[in-house]
Structure 1
Amino acid sequence: MSAAPVAPHPESAERLDLLLTAPAARTGWRVVPARVLAMCIVELQKLRHDRTEIYTRAIQPALWLLIYGETFTRIRAIPTGGIPYLDYLAPGIIAQSAMFISIFYGIMIIWERDSGILTKLLVTPTPRAALVTGKAFAAGVKAVIQVVVVVVIAALLGVSLTWNPLKLLGVVAIVVLGSAFFSCLSMSIAGIVLTRDRLMGIGQAITMPLFFGSNALYPVSAMPGWLQVISKFNPLSYEVDALRGLLIGTPAHLGTDYAVLAFAAALGITAASALLARLAR
């Protein structure tokens, strides 16, 4: 008499199904965290293989602090409320350094378009906004690494900075938000002008007005009236205000600063996402 066939155990059958059937692909917004993390890892790998960019980009902030900061500290021409001018200047140079990294980020996406990488990314199920968000926060990672270098230089020059871990985390958050906005601004411009040469020209044309039209070098109260109005619409002013409040303890409007930069970053991601397809044509 033959033995009756033994039915497979339910758990064994379930495991067999997992081996034979591919899991459902992540689609839509479920890929956003993975995409953002992947872009950040890529940028960190680039810096690990070539650290030259960190050193060369540190030269300009160091010159601002050494020459401009030391000189105006001696002549005391800018009212800073009793704070040494070098201390007052350091957060502004930190914000400037982060902005200069991010504002030319659109060049990278044009290079990806020219090399065919962007077209391949756009045919994946990843939302365009996820691609832009990943690149924006990758720019933030690069900016934070640059900020660490500038903070070390400022500390060596005797700038009194806080080392409170919570405040330093706040500095990281504000730099990432600011860099996300400026990188998205650059990618949006790239989607309009479509070429690297034009983007370089426009980037160089807007960086100085953004810098000098903010409170990075001098307080808003020292500006002429028309420039004070412009500074209120300049995201860099809010980034500098937050950095000063966190790093050297000056009065700041942290809630407003974070809200403005978060809104600006979201607006930038939306605009860059809308122009991404035009760039890939």
Structure 2
Amino acid sequence: MSEAPAAPPAASADHDRSDLGLLVSPPAPRPGWRLLPARVVAMCAVELQKLSHDRTELYTRAVQPALWLLIFGQTFTRIKAIPTGGVPYIDYLAPGIIAQSAMFIAIFYGIQIIWERDAGVLNKLLVTPTPRSALVTGKAFASGVKALVQAVVVIVIAALLGVSLTWNPLRLLGVAAAVVLGSAFFACLSMTIAGIVRSRDRLMGIGQAITMPLFFGSNALYPVSVMPDWLQVVSRINPLSYQVDALRGLLLGTPAHLGPDFAVLAVAAALGIAAASSLLGRLAR
């Protein structure tokens, strides 16, 4: 009787050696340049999953920008008290309200990370291989996606009120980028403050204390040229002013400095991520 042919000894030996190698030493880690984006996307997806379970936050936060446009915008359009370079005031105001609503979402983002600390979630995240910068970046850009939803609501309301907006896809992509970068900075600012004060009550008080100065100290409601000198200085170092300038140039086609605007927003977001990441461990203690 003929016997079945035996497996090639060389192939069997190679297979055994590969299995033994995996047991002796772990597989090579994913390169850092690939690990960080993957972790950022994963953290962003986790944050957005929370939103899918409760959408009431989006509906309630849409009320305030709607009131700004319906009441403040229409009233000051009739008064014509603020020089806007020939642009109807409600048109001038709409990009500022988009930036304002995005900031108001992001500036209290640190409260959520303090809640995660109290619930023990943050400590579990910090012991994973995920870099702290990826944790912070994922949360920051998740706030940017939430702000995008708010921006869509404001744009729809503005369009219904007759605001002349662009519908150029490339310009709308620029609007999305400006909203996300601005929100990322303010979310990181909130997480940085959370790392310093380490208390929800203190963070809430500081957040309420700085939101309105940031808003009124920008060009969201009026041109920088009508501000007193000291407020013009505040406006020039306020990232919200650069975000509003970019949004106006993209949505309305008014003169803007898109290059410097996006450069400032990108640098501010990067510095915010670095600051929040450095204080994340302190917050967890």
Instruction: For 1:95 and 1:254, locate their aligned partners in 2 and report how far apart those are by CA, in whole Å.
Output: 15
Q: Which residue of 2 aligns with 1:7?
A: 9
For residues 8-32 of structure 1, give each alpha carbon's deviation from its aligned partner in whole angstroms, at most 9, with x where no partner exists.
Answer: 548x939974996664444755322
Q: CA deviation at 1:237?
A: 0.1
In structure 2, the residue matched to 1:84 is 88
Supply the distance in 2 between the matched residues of 1:143 and 1:14 (Cα, whole angstroms): 53
Distance in 2 (alpha carbons) for counterparts of 1:141 and 1:179: 9
**Are the equivalent residues in 1 in contact too, given 2:105–2:143 (CA < 8 A)?**
yes
Pick from 87, 102, 108 the counterpart of residue 104 of structure 1.
Answer: 108
Q: Distance in 2 between matches of 1:249 and 1:18?
A: 64
* Alpha-carbon distance between aligned partners in 2 of 1:20 and 1:261, rounded to the nearest angstrom: 45
Distance 2:280 2:203 in 1: 15
Corresponding residue of 2:99: 95
Q: CA RMSD in A?
A: 2.3
In 1, the alpha carbon distance for the partners of 2:215 and 2:51 equals 26
Q: Deviations over 1:204-261 (max 9, x none)?
A: 0000000000000000001111101110000000000000000000000000000001
- Aligned pair 1:44/2:48, yes or no? yes
Q: What's the TM-score once normalised by structure 2's chain length?
A: 0.92
Q: Give 1:33's aligned amino acid.
A: P
Which of these residues, 240, 263, 272, is aligned with residue 259 of structure 1? 263
Is the aligned partner of 1:218 residue 2:218? no
Q: Please, which runs of 5 or more residues in structure 2 have no aligned partner?
A: none
- Contact 2:40/2:138, CA 8 A, preserved across alignment: yes
- SS of 1:126's equivalent in the other structure is coil
- Contact 1:29 1:130 survives alignment (8 Å): no
Structure 1 residues without counterparts, runs of 5 or longer: none
Partner residue, 1:70:
74
Q: Which moved more, 1:43-52 or 1:262-271?
A: 43-52
Asked if 1:116 corresponds to 2:120, the answer is yes
Instruction: Give % identity.
Output: 78
Which amino acid in the other structure matches residue 61 of structure 2?
Answer: R
Q: 1:209 to 1:14 in 2, by over 3 A?
A: farther
Residue 167 of structure 2: aligned partner: 163
The alpha carbon displacement at 1:129 in A equals 1.1
- Count matched residues: 281
Q: How far, CA to CA, are the matches of 1:177 and 1:59 in structure 2?
A: 23
Amino acid aligned to 1:246: L
Q: Which amino acid aligns with 1:212?
A: F
Q: 1:206 — aligned with what?
A: 210
